[in-house]
Structure 1
Amino acid sequence: MSAVPAAEAAPNLKQGQFRNLILATLASTVGFWAWTIVGPLSKRYANDMHLSPGQTAILVAMPIFVGSIARVPVGALTDKFGGRLMFTVILGITAPLVLLTGVVGQLNNFPLLVVVAFFLGIAGTVFAIGIPFCSAWYESHRKGFATGVFGAGMVGTAVSAFFTPRLVAATGYSATHVIIAVIVAISAVLCWFMLRDSPARAGVPVEPVVPKLKAAFKLKVTWQLCFLYAVVFGAFVAFSNYLPTYLANVYSYDPTAAGTRTAGFALAAVIARPVGGTLADRFGPKIITLLSFGGTIVLAMLVALQPSGEHVYGPLFLLMALFLGLGTGGVFGWVGRATPAKNVGTVGGIIAAAGGLGGYFPPLVMGATYDPESNSYFVGLTLLAVFCLAAFLLALVVRHGGRKAEK
């Protein structure tokens, strides 16, 4: 008699878990590509519209803003409706927004392009969908691995930095946006027909969104992890979007060369993220997160000195990307441990929103503190080190961070 409830309490997660994890990661990659198509073309927009560094920073940061805020309701809606439906809807909305970005970008109308870039940010909410979707497919001791692998979908920023300017050079500005929009639309269709929500969701009562959000905001750990993720993921997003502008101003790279190097930065962080998640499962998220922030503090200050020679500053940026990638995996390795299972999507969405917001402000700060006379971003990079130090100290006191999750 007791065998039936036991079976129901422990659904078979093995069948289909890896396939759904990979499909969700690919969907995230496409979403991140669409989310970050403005950054690699920032120099083109700046030249065509005669934008100041501050205006360019606003344009680059605008998709990040709405992509961050909207992660909160999207994460809660994923808890309610499931990842299959939400991936399909978000990517389906994103495809025409990519086309609209291409159309408006040719009008040389800065205010209108900022408005369109704002709405394009909805593509960034795919992250808040995939965290609960993939986490539900894996056992508690492998959730760090699952969220780490899914987090590798942020390679879409590298894809955007590398391919977007090259597609523009090869096919033209308008054709590039058509190609990307078609890829996004195809991904939406594949999500609907090929993704499946975890059987662990079966029988779980669906709660109203607003009470779930209120309960999530009442958790102390929600706020703690929000700050940690805002710093580490925010730094990654900020660099992935603003690095082409930084390299153009400081080292005089053209868009294609800057995009190639930005892609390398993003790829290094992407590779490190699942490593960070896996190491968090094994050694605990606290030590991995502390290592991430400690390394970033040192590297941010070294980069702030603006060393000459790519053989010097190139490895410094790559090391910074690796430390940031470890941290993104480490911090999200904390979510499944410290959050009630039924609220993982809601809390994950809030934390993901904090990470996106963390990426919204740095480009604005970099643009505002840039010294054109010396081509210096010293103030902005010093502020990064300061915030990393604050996050390092906070990580020391967050619970559930040891080698084994606390019961």
Structure 2
Amino acid sequence: MLIADRYRLRDAIGRGAMGEVWRAFDETLGRPVAVKLMLTRDADPTAASRFRLEAQTAGRLNHPHVVGVRDFGEYDNRLFLVMDLIEGDSLAAALAAQGTLTAERVARIAAEAAGGLAAAHQQGIVHRDIKPANLLLDADGTLKIGDFGIARFLDDPGNALTATGQIVGTSLYLAPERALGRAAGPASDVYSLGCVLYQLLTGRPPFQADSALAVLHQHLDAVPVPPRQLGASLPPAFENYLLGLLTKEPQERPTAEEVANWFAHGAWRGAPEPLPQEHQDHARRGGPPVTGSRPTGRATPAHTAGGVFVPAADTEWRTSLHRAVPRRPRLSLLRRSRLGVALGTAALFVVALLVGMAWFSPDTGSAQGPQADPSTPPSSSPATPTPSSAPSQAAAQETQKPADDTEPRPDKPDKHGGKGKH
């Protein structure tokens, strides 16, 4: 079958929701191509516009990790799209054949897929349907992103739904904000890529259930099991960064460009890097290693303890819906806590000092020293004693009385009206 007097169809190699893909030959340029034919315009009222949009969006991209679009037109009342022919298979087929892939291979896939997404995002294009079937591998294993059929339906939040009221995209890889019906953004593609990488390493998506609705609820509320607990063999740095891609809040995920750089530069291996100055100071004080609030394109900081390399990965992504908490506010909170303790201790010390002074100081309003005997001449009395010396002086006066003074003295009333002592 010859399309547009140029593209000769040979055999069908795939079929999707909107069309079927054929292996073909461009007789004008003499090269193999892939031709995608739209199935019918009656099945879905939006199919024609989506098909055209795929051609327009993918045609704007020229990147080694994006399937290139070469031509677009209409033949026999059917739209067709001519693309580069990928002489390989999809990641879906690779998973079916192998079950899981090695960390080394998944890291390469992550870098290439994120690089292709970054190029699309720079053009204002959001793929919105990243899944294993749409990630193709050519003959030498290079990844190509294909099927931009539902891309760029993000200008109007209402476009998140199709005419039948179903969310556009595959539920197993759908970002939480998409599950809430919000418009897709670049961070949505990053989340979907994280789901794919998780499946490549563990053999299963991060969330599974008996219905699509149950899966959407898990995307919103559930915490994915760390891949190493499912038997995946990968470095801790890789695992923690991957869980960071699956954080619930879009603004806490890295950009596609950061993901591409992080994997391409080998940071997933956990290679040691010097801590930023402020984190070095914290480590010297004996504090735990500190990392950023979310994964970035830079390698995760690390430190050495006793000559053994310890990746400084933020494990809180495992316990709080993987929402990494910024470390800088925690440090300031710690300083404020220490300052509060110091001020409280000083205040308690001052209060204790004042209480002690009040307890041991003389009370001039109620305490009185011993009353002087009226018979004692004033000249024999010393200067007014202090309270502390009064008892000892009174005792001294008693010892100075004559031992043979036995003559009784008339009783005299004391100042309170009582009888004096004999």
Q: Would the TM-score normalized by the shorter structure come out above 0.5?
A: no
Q: Rg larger in 1 or in 2?
A: 2
TM-score (norm 1): 0.29
Structure showing the higher strand proportion among its residues: 2
Structure showing the higher helix proportion among its residues: 1
